[in-house]
Amino acid sequence: MFKNRITNPFLRGLVEWTVTFLLAILLFFVMRNFVFRTATVTGISMTPTIGHGDMLIINRLTYQFGTPAAGDIVAFPYQGNPSEIYIKRVIGVPGDIIDLRGSEFFVNDQLLNDPFSHESVLAMGDVIFPITVEEGRFFVLGDNRNRSRDSRFSSVGTVPQRDIMGRAVLRIWPIGEFGWVNSR
């Protein structure tokens, strides 16, 4: 476009470099706002799967074409402080009946077979069980059940799909643990 109009090689190179740079910035912002985002984990609610300080890539497109499934690790804003991003695992989808019996979770009368959590539940929360997950909402838990503020607590509750930012797919920090996030 400009090559034929600009005869000075230095100016032509400068214009080409500037246009390339601006297109790269535009592409970055489109990707950042519509395809992915990063989130840094604060706290130990998802250990051992994800630790405090881990930086994750959140796929924002995943739920534009589908809905969260049991086992997905999702990111959503905490309703008490929307600038705070929560990372939790989906345990219940719309229509599921979640029950906490003693120290174990049941989904639709089946013991939750969850290889990501290895402890008996001592933190019961303030939600009355059993609970039926409403249409368009999801029941989420932290993998570290006794150190997690999640759907057992009314301050979090079941999460509306419209609030789910996306699915955690990749750990990029710490570099020694770089790799796919373990879900399902």
Catalytic residues: 45, 88
Q: By C-alpha distance, which of 145, 72, 139, 133 is closest to 104?
A: 145
**Residues 130 and 97: beta-carbon distance below 8 Å:** yes
Dihedral sign of CA atoms 90, 147, 178, 161 in order? positive
Which regions of 44-96 does DSSP assign to beta strands (E)? 55-59, 73-78, 81-92
Alpha helices in the chain (DSSP H): 9-34
Q: Is the peptide bond before 160 cis (omega within 30 degrees of 0)?
A: no
Distance of alpha carbon 129 from the chain centroid: 25
The tokens of 142 are what? 């932290």
Spatial separation of the C-alpha atoms in residues 113 and 116, rounded to whole Å: 9
